[in-house]
Structure 1
Amino acid sequence: MNQTHLATLLAVLEEGSFDAAADVLGISPSAVSQRIKALESDIGRVLVRRSSPVVATESGEVLAQAARRMALLQAETDVALRRTIARVPLSIAINADSLATWFQPVFSEVAKWDNATLRLRIEDESRSMMLLRRGDCLGAITTEATAVQGCEVRHLGVLRYRAMASPALRDAYTDRTGTIDWAHMPTLRYGPNDKLQTNDLDGRLEGKPVNRRVSEIPSSEAFLEAARRGLGWALVAELQGRELVESGDLVLLDDIVSDVHLYWQYWRLESTMLHDLTAAVVTAAAEALD
């Protein structure tokens, strides 16, 4: 397979269009199209769906995953031989809460490495596995303990969540006996795939139907601020909400603790950069997670 054609396939999938890939590669959109057609002719299968954005077919996903592995090894080889100033892209799927809390020391480690770049994809812990299976990422922070085919898995620790709200919101939905009206108190969730929040609320209501007031805040920092300002109650990572609880801006609504076990899944690949990245992730988690 032509390496240039493979690099073009990756550019199209990462940028989402032939035009954007052309800008990145410094060639014309027609040249991008010709390279993809040539690769499809070589493989004998359609590799991308010409939609907006462009997405890979099943065959395209298989080829893209292999191409990313080859690209990582090639970039590392180029750096080692000092033939180019290739940058090694380290693509990671990560949930917003981890990114906002314990993961940040990884930035300091990667900053010390020559020619390494991070590309983070914000995804719910459960959905990150899809990106790993497709080969869109070489590593993922996930709740899945079973390794994806071709990957290794490391247990990182437990991220603990507690139900929190502003004092005013708690008081507005607490009766004289101290019982919270979970069925009517406004709530927050990160997005439609926020299963942690949804499952927790279902458990508190014991399956009773309710006309919920749910606000979606797709940013970990803004999510916390929305809770502080009383837009709704939320399950907040203890690491993230601790200071606001200590200051009194947020209060704990009960003693229930929701433990989420986090795992680091990564390609089974002889790569120095990937080995160092794994060490940085494991170390950061060990210093912060239970």
Structure 2
Amino acid sequence: MSLDSQQLVAFAAVIEEGSFDAAARRLVITPSAVSQRVKALEQAVGQVLVRRERPCVTTDAGASLMRLAAQVSTLEREALREMGADGAPIRVAVAVNADSFGTWMGPVLARVPDGVLIDIRIEDQDHSAELLRAGVVMAAVTTEPKPIAGCRSEALGAMRYFGMASPGYVERYLPGGLVEAGIDRVRQAPLIRWDRRDALQDQFLRKLFRRDVTVPEHYVPTTGGNTEALRVGLGWGMMPEQLSRDGLVDVAPGRYLDVPLYWQHWKFESVTLTAITAAVRKAAAVLRGS
């Protein structure tokens, strides 16, 4: 059985854009035409490939076809470029946690090859691999060391985090710091999370107290907003060492949390993905202290 390339392209566009309407706008066809192509592809393979949700996501069966569609499209465009023929830009989707993107990942963007459109998906490092498994991204910065099926994995180094807060906050809630204040005070001291998936603070508290600790929590889902919330005394939180800690104090002096990071990417011979991987490897040297 051979697969129809137009059907594959329509299917991939639905998943990448999140809806049939958005896919239609990108492909400059009607939503009905997109729907017909996806249904025809599903009939051809005998399986449902798209969960019609908001946004649309792949089924488990669709994940492998997402990888195939993106790989075929990438290799086709690379071949056309090598032949000197005009080709559409190559789109590369990458999942990155916000702290990496806000600190050491910047130089990677400067090394994106000409003719490549980069699509950064911000996702917590403990969950970015989910996008890789779903076929939504070609590569991800993740905490998972074991290669995902169809992927290669390489260690990048570790991001070091410190518990930080404003001096006024520490004086009010945690005199002497987290350990010295004691677990009863810690349970009353609000902390700041990125979102409900952010578990760094839990890991840090578990490291300090050897147990789970339930505390009041705020959610501030931007790097800049998170830092500002720390500075105005909204709560305490974890901050990567690469960010400026001016105006803040360490809530557990001498204690820190190292989070190992890995670069996982699809296992196919693409000059574009190879170039981006090389750029990530070079930028991540700061995590290895080199």
Instruction: Using structure 2 for the length normalisation, give the TM-score.
Output: 0.91
- The amino acid of 1:252's aligned partner reads D
3-state SS in 2 of match to 1:179: helix
Q: Distance in 1 between matches of 2:30 and 2:251?
A: 58
Residue 174 of structure 1 and its aligned partner are, at CA, apart by 3.7
Q: Check if 1:151 corresponds to 2:151.
A: yes
1:250 to 248, 251, 255: 248
The farther-off stretch of 255-264 and 167-176 is 167-176
- What does residue 191 of structure 2 align with? 187
**What secondary structure, in the 3-state scheme, does the structure 1 residue paired with 2:53 have?**
coil
Give the unaligned 5+ runs of structure 2. Answer: none
Structure 1 match to 2:164: 164
Secondary structure, in 3 states, of the residue corresponding to 1:235?
A: strand
For 1:223, the equivalent position in structure 2 comes to 226
Task: Using the TM superposition, give the Cα deviation of residue 19 of structure 1 relative to its aligned residue in structure 2, in angstroms.
Answer: 1.3
Structure 1 position 272 matched with structure 2 position 271: yes
Note if contact 1:75-1:87 (Cα within 8 Å) is conserved in structure 2.
yes
Identity %: 39
User: Where in structure 2 are the equivalents of 1:207-218 lying within 5 Å?
Assistant: 207=211, 210=214, 212-218=215-221
The whole-number CA distance in structure 2 between the counterparts of 1:176 and 1:20 is 54
Query: What residue identity is the alignment partner of 1:92?
Result: V
Provide the C-alpha distance between the structure 2 equivalents of 1:51 and 1:208, rounded to a whole number of angstroms: 35
Task: Kindly state the Cα deviation for residue 198 of structure 1 after the two structures are TM-superposed.
Answer: 2.0
How far the C-alpha of 1:173 sits from its partner, in A, is 1.9
CA distance in 1, matches of 2:146, 2:99: 22
Amino acid at match of 1:250: L
Aligned-partner Cα distance in 2 for 1:143–1:253: 25
SS of the residue corresponding to residue 159 of structure 2 reads strand
- Counterpart position of 1:39: 41
Structure-2 separation of matches of 1:253 and 1:74: 53
- The structural deviation recorded for 1:229 is 1.2
Conserved? CA contact 1:129–1:142, under 8 Å: yes
Distance apart, 1:205 and its partner CA:
4.8
Secondary structure at 2:118 match in 1: strand
| Correspondence for 1:55 | 57
Secondary structure of the structure 1 residue equivalent to 2:61: helix
1:71 corresponds to: 73
Q: CA deviation at 1:73?
A: 1.0
Alignment of 1:105-120 (within 5 A): 105-110=107-112, 113-120=113-120
**Aligned equivalents of 1:203 and 1:222: distance in 2?**
26
Which residue in 1 is equivalent to 2:18? 16
8 Å Cα contact 1:187/1:232 also seen in 2:
yes
Q: 1:209, CA displacement in angstroms?
A: 5.8
1:283 & 1:263 partners in 2: Cα distance? 13
Q: Secondary structure at the match of 1:226?
A: helix
Count of residues in correspondence between the two structures: 282
Question: CA offsets per residue over residues 227-261 of structure 1, 9 Å max, x none?
Answer: 11111001110111xx33xx4x1011221110111
Per-residue deviation, 1:53: 2.4
Does the 8 Å contact 2:188/2:216 carry over to 1? Answer: yes
Q: 1:208 to 1:81 in 2, by over 3 A?
A: closer
Aligned to 2:236: 233
Tell me the CA shift for residue 152 of structure 1.
1.2
**Could you list the runs of 5+ residues in structure 1 that have no partner in the other structure?**
none
C-alpha RMSD of the superposition: 1.9
TM-score (norm 1): 0.91
1:201 Cα deviation from its structure 2 partner: 2.7
| SS of equivalent to 2:136 | coil
| d(CA) in 1 for partners of 2:136, 2:222 | 22
Aligned pairs for 1:119-134 (under 5 A) are: 119-134=119-134
Q: Distance in 2 between matches of 1:6 and 1:208?
A: 46
> In structure 2, what residue type is equivalent to 1:126?
D
Q: Which moved more, 1:91-100 or 1:147-156?
A: 147-156
Distance 1:239 1:63, change over 3 A: same
1:85 Cα deviation from its structure 2 partner: 3.2
Secondary structure, aligned partner of 1:239: coil
Match of 2:99 in 1: 97
Q: Compared with structure 1, are the counterparts of its residues 209 and 49 closer, same or farther at alpha carbon in structure 2 (3 Å cutoff)?
A: closer
**Does the C-alpha gap of structure 1 residues 176 and 285 become closer, same or farther in structure 2, counting only changes over 3 Å?**
closer
